[in-house]
Amino acid sequence: MTKARDLANGGFGLVLVKPSTVVNGTDNGKGTVSFSAVSSVSLNDVFSATYSNYLIQLTLSGSTTDDVNMRMRVGGSDNSSTVYTRSSIFQNSTTISGQLISSEQSFRGIAQMRSGQDNFSQMTIINPFATAHTTIIQDSTDQVGTANLTQTRRMHTMTVTTSFTGFTVIAASGTITGNVSVYGINK
């Protein structure tokens, strides 16, 4: 009988990926990066040929109410060109809406921060290291007021086929505090 711990080590499941370096954050030694009151946090060398796809989990709170964005990076530099696109579906207790945006300088709205409240975003990132279009399927939640939870599903893609090795999480305004983990998805 195969045990769960053997599956993770034997090529199945999720494997926490340790970045080679972190800018504006601290790696706990295993790969989870914590950051406090920063405008951005960068993780270098988390994407490689080892995995085709990854899971990113981001928990944060912010000093303001605004978007949290993400840029892909390679060689320690962010790609800030207008090569990012997204489509979104928003749902809260009273409404459902959507939007389609192209030619942005980041994956906009990977999380929505609300001052003093915890927010969570989980992203499946497809082909970040391959010379292919990088795509993200993102689900996030944030609380609006005391009883209203907002849920967002976004699809992000890039119009270029660059091989990326890392990413930067960026507060659109103010600062962010939280942690981020990257998991390689074994086939």
**Residue pLDDT tens, the chain, 187 long:** 344 444 455 567 899 999 999 999 999 999 999 999 999 999 999 999 999 999 999 998 888 878 899 999 999 999 999 999 988 887 766 778 787 778 889 888 888 777 777 788 999 999 999 999 999 999 887 665 555 566 778 888 999 999 999 999 999 999 999 999 999 999 8
Entry pTM: 0.87
CB within 8 A of 65, min separation 6: which ones? 113, 114, 115
CA quadruple 128, 43, 113, 159: dihedral sign = negative
Domains recognised in the chain with CATH numbers: 15-185 (2.60.120)
Separation in Å, CA 71 to CA 3, 58, 130, 147, 165: 38, 14, 16, 32, 11
pLDDT of 89 = 80
pLDDT for position 149: 63
- DSSP-derived pairing of the beta strands 119-126 and 107-113: unpaired
Q: How high is the pLDDT of residue 145?
A: 56
What is the rounded distance in angstroms from the CA atom of residue 49 to the CA atom of residue 54? Answer: 11
Residue spans of beta strands (DSSP E) within the chain? 14-16, 21-23, 26-27, 33-38, 40-44, 53-62, 66-74, 77-78, 84-91, 96-104, 107-113, 119-126, 135-144, 148-158, 166-171, 176-185
Q: 7 — phi, psi (to 5°)?
A: -65, -45
Q: For CA atoms 137, 148, 71, 182, give the dihedral sign.
A: negative
